Structure 1
Amino acid sequence: MAGPATPITSIDDAPLTPFHKRLMYRCSGGPFLDGYILSIVGVAATGMTTDLNLSVSALSAVGAAALVGIFVGAIIFGRLTDRIGREVMYTVDLIVLVVASVLSAFADSAWQVILLRFILGLAIGADYPIATALLAEWLPRRNRGKMLGALILFWYIGATAAYAVGYLMIEFGGDGLWRWMLGSAAVPGLVILLMRMGTPESPRWLAQHGRLDKAREVVAKVFGDSVDVDAVLAAETAGTGGRRGRFSDVFRGVYLRRMAFCGLFYLCQVTPLFAIYTFGPIILEAFGLNEGTLAYLGSALISLLFLIGCVPALRWVDAWGRRPLIIWSFVLMVIPLAVLGIVPTAPAAVIITCFCLYALFSGGPNILEWTYPNELFPTNVRATAVGISTGISRIGAAIGTYLLPQSLTKIGAGPTMLVGAVITLVGLVVCIAWAEETKDAALGAEGDRAPLATV
């Protein structure tokens, strides 16, 4: 007769349960809405420009407002999440998003659209550190890389859904439905908000803030009788002295290097990626692929491969490790951009193949955008670190998106791709120098504070 099962003494070593899977889908709402909201405005732009008589600068401001909002929201609310908790912010940011989306359907001037897009960006930027920190702090270590990395898939699903909804509205109602397009984000936003109701607070955060009774309650609720609650909480509070983190902590000692790594690799990844994803047809036309619908079909294929490239990376992140995955991904991302820059007059098949390879190889950094900062920083500043790295990345996204059309016009397609290759090469150097191996690392207090090997 089998004896009693060994009780769970650490969240890091707990078995994967249906609760973890539900939590992952709930947390995926932020990336989904980010992809949806950033993409739907491109479809709505034509009708909006006509109805509101937007100037080029006003239209640019509409496009940039959400990115600026994400930058501000990620940094401010990431810090606030470490102070007041994940659970409260987890629902408040979605309420703001739903309300702002509904109001967007009634906007009748450029400044209203710009303001509401900025507010939407604030809510999205807030959700990244909130949801990823909450998910990371509940996940077992052996599943953390794959399940955190899977969140980026929902960004691409959200972007695809936005294009589908937008084009269906144009097909059946014309460009005049642009307000309905902007307001449509409220529908998935409300669904995700309802899904998140009842999500428990992170026991790690509760323990770090001295709320041990509540921490015991949520741990027991999730794991039932199979958990040794006192042992779990002891693992979360060991050596911390109940100290709450400060914003400045992420810029001190080993955390300064880790913050530089997370922010810089993220920035170097998304600067060319966002530009290519956003202006795919324009870029392909600049390479001479302007016969019929070739540029649009090529762009659609490239966009699909950004999503597909994440799938094998999700398997490799836990089997192979974080450090080799990110280094080799950057190596393989530099090569096709360099070929495009050196041989911009290559045949159409070569041009499209290079862009497709870049999209496929970007899967590694894509799935590590939130995995790395969540694993490299302790519970008391985890959301702060995610917020800062996300904010830094949006600087690159905004710059790349703004400058790419001008670069194509002024210096041409080849030199523009060489600039992208150099930026990606900088990301590779950063990864070789500073990427740590966090595979199987504990998120408990002691594991948080110990520097991890970089070889």
Structure 2
Amino acid sequence: MSSTAGQGTGPGGTGDDHAPGETVSRGGVQTGTISTKVPARLDRLPWSGWHWRIVIGLGTVWILDGLEVTIVGNIAGRLSQKGSGLAISAAQVSGLAAALYVAGACTGALFFGWLTDRHGRKKLFMLTLCVYLAATALTAVSWTAWFFFLCRFFTGFGIGGEYAAINSAIDELIPSRHRGRIDIIINGSFWIGAGAGALVSVPLLNTSLLPVNVGWRLAFGLGVVLGLVILLVRRHVPESPRWLFIHGRNREAEEVVAEAERIVQDEKQVVLDEPDQSITIRQRRSIGFVTIARTMVRLYPGRTVLGLSLFIGQAFLYNAVTFGYATILTTFFAVPNGFTGYYFAVICVGNFMGPLLLGPLFDSVGRKPMISGTYLLSGVLLLGTAALFRSGALSAVTLTLCWTVVLFFASAGASSAYLTVSEVFPMETRALAIAFFYAVGTAVGGISGPLIFADLVSTGKTADTALAFSLGAALMIAAGVVELFLGVKAERRGLESIAMPLTAEEPEVSGTAPA
């Protein structure tokens, strides 16, 4: 990496001014102007064990989230029973507790997202996982409803922070030709955890095996065990070299990329060519929040509308269904509380297979046709499901099969929302952009969804529940239409060519097309 001294002010400056031609060092951090090939060197790497380490260490957080959300949805019936240890109703578990979990996730995403852009990806994805572990462990020993609700909020607080830190790190470490499919599949792995949670909840909630006040506590304990394993693996995931060189830590960025290149060359027995592309960056210790907000709203208004549309649509649909599907089965089809997990496990298979099978198409066919297609198709199919449900033509089994088909496409679309907002904004704003869209979209759709679903399902009228289905379908279709007009063709493009860093010295990346 070559480095030349330069002016220390510019977009988002934070008071680190110094004279031209001077390189300032504060606490081991260089703040000057550098030309670097780090992005091009990362993008030209073939897939290797180094990349698998990143996927396993970071991507598994969605399994945790899926496990958490599904366990809560399936234990609603048991928690409301006499002797559970908590004076709480099923509606409070699937409604209020779910809304508090999502509210915590929104708050955590914004708080930790800001810290992630300021202090680095690695520090924060370690901290957020620790927050999740502590809150989940405390949930397992809850003795009153208010403490249970408080723990649900802080569990979401940690998970929300994970979304911002993890998505930004993954996109900055994965080569551009693989970025779409990897991001889609990793986000879709939520449903591995959801399926595991659904199946595990069956024996844990079986009162012939475990007392009513013990099974649900062990269910949360499983999340703690899995989180501890992930914490151990995650220690070996490197900091993002892109974040390092922008924040003046040139030597560390070089060391991370050099290690990746050594692993690839030893594993593949190849000699890597030196890339031609380079980018000139004015380094900063931090970027002001006002600058970040102005970037999203003023420089990229179309992308901001796009991100909000995609997030609101998927958040309403998924949070409502995830938290409320067990209640639908018990209310309309008299499925016993202890057996709802089997039905939900079937849905989870469809949800994961969608991103797994459709993910590669987001890199080959392209972002716009795949994102708009998955949103529109899932919305139309859900409208059909709502009509069949209202007419009484469905059973517990056929409703589950309908939802499996709907969510096969919706899951890939929902995963693409995270992919979109993590790659279409400048690097300095990436974590906070993810946090912003997750928080706003989830606050609108994710908090209102469970509350509206719980209210409509509790009436016991098929027409009310069909209306809830239709609302989710309408929002998905609307988001698909927005993607058709405002979508960004980001497939197989380097992050710096999709959105130039705010600290870039030149208007375009050398050797690539302008954003």
- TM-score (normalised: structure 2): 0.77
Return the offset for 1:183: 2.8
Matched, 1:64 2:64: no
Match of 2:303 in 1: 258
Matched, 1:437 2:484: no
Matched, 1:204 2:242: yes
**Contact 2:86/2:143 (CA < 8 Å) preserved in 1?**
yes
**Contact 2:77/2:90 (CA < 8 Å) preserved in 1?**
no
Secondary structure in structure 2 of the residue aligned to 1:392: helix
Return the offset for 1:415: 3.1
> Which of 131, 135, 146 is the equivalent residue of 1:100?
135
Return the alpha-carbon distance in structure 1 between the equivalents of residues 349 and 483 of structure 2. 26
Q: Sort the Cα spacing of 1:238 and 1:228 in 2 relative to 1 into closer, same or farther, 3 A.
A: farther
Match of 1:75 in 2: 110
Q: Deviations over 1:111-167 (max 9, x none)?
A: 222222211111111111111111111111111111111112321111122223332
| Letter of the structure 2 residue corresponding to residue 217 of structure 1 | E
> Which of 171, 177, 195 is the equivalent residue of 1:160?
195
**Contact 1:132/1:370 (CA < 8 Å) preserved in 2?**
yes
Q: Sort the Cα spacing of 1:61 and 1:268 in 2 relative to 1 into closer, same or farther, 3 A.
A: same
Secondary structure in structure 1 of the residue aligned to 2:238: coil
**Contact 1:8/1:227 (CA < 8 Å) preserved in 2?**
no
What is the correspondence of 1:9-408 to structure 2 with a 5 Å cutoff?
9-49=40-80, 50-54=84-88, 59=93, 60-171=95-206, 172-177=209-214, 178-224=216-262, 235=278, 237-240=279-282, 242=284, 244=287, 246=289, 247-283=292-328, 300-342=345-387, 344-345=390-391, 347-348=393-394, 354-395=402-443, 396-408=445-457
Q: Sort the Cα spacing of 1:8 and 1:311 in 2 relative to 1 into closer, same or farther, 3 A.
A: closer
Return the offset for 1:386: 0.9
Equivalences, count: 443
Return the alpha-carbon distance in structure 2 between the equivalents of residues 298 and 44 of structure 1. 14
> Once structures 1 and 2 are overlaid, which stretch shifts more, 9-18 or 197-206?
9-18
Return the alpha-carbon distance in structure 2 between the equivalents of residues 16 and 383 of structure 1. 24
Q: Sort the Cα spacing of 1:58 and 1:328 in 2 relative to 1 into closer, same or farther, 3 A.
A: closer
Q: Sort the Cα spacing of 1:303 and 1:216 in 2 relative to 1 into closer, same or farther, 3 A.
A: closer
| Letter of the structure 2 residue corresponding to residue 326 of structure 1 | I
Return the alpha-carbon distance in structure 2 between the equivalents of residues 315 and 306 of structure 1. 16
Cα root mean square deviation, aligned: 3.2
| Letter of the structure 2 residue corresponding to residue 54 of structure 1 | I
Return the alpha-carbon distance in structure 2 between the equivalents of residues 297 and 197 of structure 1. 35
| Letter of the structure 2 residue corresponding to residue 434 of structure 1 | L
Secondary structure in structure 2 of the residue aligned to 1:448: coil
> Which of 474, 477, 494 is the equivalent residue of 1:425?
477
Q: Sort the Cα spacing of 1:221 and 1:340 in 2 relative to 1 into closer, same or farther, 3 A.
A: closer
Return the alpha-carbon distance in structure 2 between the equivalents of residues 319 and 165 of structure 1. 37
Q: Sort the Cα spacing of 1:418 and 1:63 in 2 relative to 1 into closer, same or farther, 3 A.
A: closer
- Larger helix percent: 1
Secondary structure in structure 2 of the residue aligned to 1:72: helix
Secondary structure in structure 1 of the residue aligned to 2:500: helix
Secondary structure in structure 2 of the residue aligned to 1:238: strand
| Letter of the structure 1 residue corresponding to residue 424 of structure 2 | L
Return the alpha-carbon distance in structure 2 between the equivalents of residues 258 and 62 of structure 1. 32
**Contact 2:180/2:360 (CA < 8 Å) preserved in 1?**
no
Return the alpha-carbon distance in structure 1 between the equivalents of residues 187 and 113 of structure 2. 18
Match of 2:28 in 1: none
Unaligned runs of 5+ in 1: 1-6
**Contact 2:202/2:341 (CA < 8 Å) preserved in 1?**
no
Match of 2:31 in 1: none
Q: Sort the Cα spacing of 1:252 and 1:416 in 2 relative to 1 into closer, same or farther, 3 A.
A: closer
Match of 1:4 in 2: none
Q: Deviations over 1:59-89 (max 9, x none)?
A: 4433322211111011111111000001111
**Contact 1:266/1:389 (CA < 8 Å) preserved in 2?**
yes
Return the alpha-carbon distance in structure 2 between the equivalents of residues 166 and 299 of structure 1. 11
Q: Deviations over 1:425-448 (max 9, x none)?
A: 221222122111110111137853
Return the alpha-carbon distance in structure 1 between the equivalents of residues 405 and 381 of structure 2. 7
Q: Sort the Cα spacing of 1:143 and 1:161 in 2 relative to 1 into closer, same or farther, 3 A.
A: same
Identity across matched positions, percent: 25
Match of 2:17 in 1: none
**Contact 2:375/2:480 (CA < 8 Å) preserved in 1?**
yes
| Letter of the structure 2 residue corresponding to residue 428 of structure 1 | G
Return the offset for 1:353: 5.4
Return the offset for 1:358: 1.2
Return the alpha-carbon distance in structure 2 between the equivalents of residues 69 and 298 of structure 1. 28
Return the offset for 1:250: 4.2
Unaligned runs of 5+ in 2: 1-37, 266-270, 502-506
Secondary structure in structure 1 of the residue aligned to 2:248: coil
Return the offset for 1:94: 1.4
Return the alpha-carbon distance in structure 2 between the equivalents of residues 342 and 215 of structure 1. 55
Secondary structure in structure 2 of the residue aligned to 1:185: helix
**Contact 2:137/2:224 (CA < 8 Å) preserved in 1?**
yes
Return the alpha-carbon distance in structure 1 between the equivalents of residues 466 and 217 of structure 2. 38
Q: Sort the Cα spacing of 1:180 and 1:324 in 2 relative to 1 into closer, same or farther, 3 A.
A: same
Return the alpha-carbon distance in structure 1 between the equivalents of residues 335 and 485 of structure 2. 44
| Letter of the structure 1 residue corresponding to residue 96 of structure 2 | A
Secondary structure in structure 1 of the residue aligned to 2:489: coil
**Contact 2:74/2:341 (CA < 8 Å) preserved in 1?**
no
**Contact 1:289/1:348 (CA < 8 Å) preserved in 2?**
no
> Once structures 1 and 2 are overlaid, which stretch shifts more, 321-330 or 415-424?
415-424
